[in-house]
Amino acid sequence: MMTRMTLRSMIDAASKEMKKAVIEAMRGVDHTATTTDCRSVRRRSFIGVTAHWIDPDSLQRCSAAPACKQLRDSHTFDVLASALNDIHSEFEIRGKIVRTTTDNGSNFIKAFQVFGEDENNNAVVSDGDASQPREDGEDQEDQDEAEEVELVVVSVLLNEDDGLEFELPKH
């Protein structure tokens, strides 16, 4: 007869093997799409994530369910963003996600507005400074100044904190 501890260790081992298989399958993929949803049952909240991609060798559609995890807090936009960021990092797909599909819940919408990328894969800035319309004369000034070349150490810019705690893909 199987004991509770034996069953638990077998489930843990199988879970780790499945996780390794999913990570390995997605490692060879450059682009993936995800779907995400939240559910509350008996005062417990859960987040589920599925990933979808095209196998580069066979050109077959592939899917996996990387996560169905309990959220310790209520599913507010920042808790969802943190959980998604953790899941994307855990399965090594952070830079590979081209789009994420969710329901129209205000918590998901706000998470992607605050922490998501825009159409150019840039982190969205909520201050609005980058999207200010330019005056007509400013374009001519920029062209005149563009003739001067300034060298910038890129590593400093890449290491700068953009003020966003998490980074989500496009929604």
> What does the pLDDT look like over 58-73, one tens digit per residue?
999 999 999 999 998 8
Q: What is the pTM of this model?
A: 0.66
Mark the ranges of the chain whose per-residue pLDDT is less than 70: 118-171
Q: What is the pLDDT of residue 127?
A: 45
User: Amino acid letter at 56?
Assistant: P
Q: What is the pLDDT of residue 164?
A: 54
Identify whether the C-beta of residue 117 lies closer than 8 Å to the C-beta of residue 169: yes
Exposure string (b/e) for 120-143, b if CB count within 10 Å is 16 or more? eeeebeeeeeeeeeeeeeeeeeee
32 CB neighbour count, 10 Å cutoff: 23
Q: What is the pLDDT of residue 23?
A: 93
Q: What percent of the chain has pLDDT over 70?
A: 68
> What does the pLDDT look like over 93-105, one tens digit per residue?
988 999 999 988 8
